[in-house]
Structure 1
Amino acid sequence: MSAFTLAAAQSVSIPGDLQANIGRHLAFMRQAAERGVEFLLFPELSLTGYEKALAAGLAITPDAPVLAPLRELARELKLVTVVGMPIRLGAEEPVLIGALTFGADGSLQVYSKQHLHDGEEIAFTPGNGGEPLTMADERIALAVCADFSHASHPLRAAQSEANLYAASVLITGNGYAPDTALLQGYAREHAMAVLMANHGGMTGGWQSAGRSALWAAGGQQVVAAEGEGDVLVIGRRVAGQWSGEVVSVMGL
């Protein structure tokens, strides 16, 4: 198994301000690349914040030109980057919670959240998921928040031979212990690493817990942020062994 460096981008989103959030994402990407990160995962709806009331007005197609700077920088840095955005697959299509992957080769891959939380149906329609990502020796299955609360979702990821389950989330303080117990349990049960990228602050009226984390296959926690704020939670695997660090993102 080759060396691999990944990170959760625990970011604070500016409500509804796509351009400002794109700028913040670009800063995260540059600072991640400086530390050798090859795969970078942002939280659920990271480009807009978890703003249900604004989602219909903000939703765009995955290939919208406004996202080109993210796609181009991912290619330039050779940094596979997953961002969260309300999307429509066509002008008259329903709004989905999207996780868009910008590849190191300039490609775009779309994942849409399959399982909605209670109350999300007022703004969103369940999506169809998406195929795992492939990066050299890595096979990465994506999840968006409530997806992982359904045991069948990580099970399908394991059956697809994913060695990393990457979850973009919004988890509050009250939900943190039970939700992370589930994620750690999947790492143990399915023998795949689990990366969780949580919001770094208040979003959509919810106070996020932060504390983004990585668990190794088998369930051992590798690294976690201590709390909220704009940080990179970085994991490095060398010769099958994981190490981690948390780095503050500067200049936002």
Structure 2
Amino acid sequence: MKNLDICAAQYCSVAGDLNANIDRHVQFMRHAAKQGVEFLLFPELSLTGYEPSLARELAQTPDVALLQPLRELAKQSGMTTVVGLPLRQVGSDAILIGALVFAADGSQATYTKQHLHPGEEAVFSPGDGGALLNIKAEHIALSVCADFTHASHAQAAAHAGAGVYATSVLISENGYPHDSGLLEDYAREHSLGVLMANHGGPSGGWACAGRSAFWAPGGKRVVSAAGTGDCLVIARRRQGVWQGQVVECSATP
């Protein structure tokens, strides 16, 4: 079993400001690269914040040039990076909750949220998910928030051969006990490593819980942010054993 370094970027989005968030994503990516991270996961809609009322005007196509600095840095650092934003497809009016994957080899993939929370359908359309990622021979399955509340989603990931289930979320203080319990259950029931990247501060009117975390296969919580705020929650596998580290993110890398 190969060594592996994966990371949840616990991130406080600037509401509705793509340019500011791109700059801050670059800072986070540089911090993570210095830590030797090979897979970096940002929260749901990290590039805009969870702002449904702004989603239609902020939505981008997957190939938008605005995100080129993130693509280039992912390739330069050899760190596959997953960022969140509202997506529109060419020739369609539908707006999807998307996760763009900027791979270490310069390629790009898209994951779109399959299951919507009640009320999200007023703005967003259900997506189609996405393929497993391959990081150093480890298969990683993506999910976005409400996807993981459907037990069949994690089960399908395990059956497809995933070793890690990586979920980009917005989880509130009130929802955290229940939702983190579900993720722990998936780690135990399906022998999955489970990585969760949550917002580190308020977004879209929600008081987000932070406490991004990683559970090892079997259900043990290896590492978690203590609360809210910007940080990297890193899980490192060495000789088959998972260890954790939390790194605070300052304004400059």
Aligned residue pairs: how many? 252
1:40 aligns with 2:27: no
**What whole-Å deviation, never above 9, does each CA across 1:40-70 have from its counterpart, x for those lacking one?**
0000000000000000000010110001110
Q: Report the Cα offset of residue 93 of structure 1.
A: 3.2
Query: Residue type of the partner of 1:135?
Result: I
Residue in 1 that maps onto 2:103: 103
Residue in 2 that maps onto 1:3: 3
Residue in 2 that maps onto 1:234: 234
Residue in 2 that maps onto 1:142: 142
Query: Residue type of the partner of 2:78?
Result: K
Residue in 1 that maps onto 2:159: 159
Whole-Å separation in 2 of the counterparts to 1:91 and 1:197? 31
Q: Give yes or no for contact 2:61–2:90 (8 Å, CA) kept in 1.
A: yes
Indicate the RMSD between aligned Cα atoms, in angstroms. 0.7
Q: Give yes or no for contact 2:17–2:48 (8 Å, CA) kept in 1.
A: yes
Whole-Å separation in 1 of the counterparts to 2:109 and 2:160? 17
1:57 aligns with 2:50: no
What secondary structure is seen at the aligned counterpart in 1 of 2:130?
coil
What secondary structure is seen at the aligned counterpart in 2 of 1:158?
helix
Whole-Å separation in 1 of the counterparts to 2:93 and 2:150? 26
Whole-Å separation in 2 of the counterparts to 1:123 and 1:26? 28
Whole-Å separation in 2 of the counterparts to 1:183 and 1:103? 25
User: What residue ranges of structure 2 are gaps of 5+ in the alignment?
Assistant: none
Map residues 121-200 of structure 1 onto 2, 5 A cutoff.
121-200=121-200
Identity of counterpart residues, as a percentage? 59
Whole-Å separation in 2 of the counterparts to 1:231 and 1:136? 24
Moved over 3 A (4+): none
1:248 aligns with 2:248: yes
Whole-Å separation in 2 of the counterparts to 1:220 and 1:179? 15
Whole-Å separation in 2 of the counterparts to 1:92 and 1:175? 33
Q: Report the Cα offset of residue 122 of structure 1.
A: 1.0
Q: Report the Cα offset of residue 91 of structure 1.
A: 4.4
TM-score (norm 1): 0.99
Whole-Å separation in 2 of the counterparts to 1:245 and 1:108? 28
TM-score (norm 2): 0.98
What secondary structure is seen at the aligned counterpart in 1 of 2:61?
coil
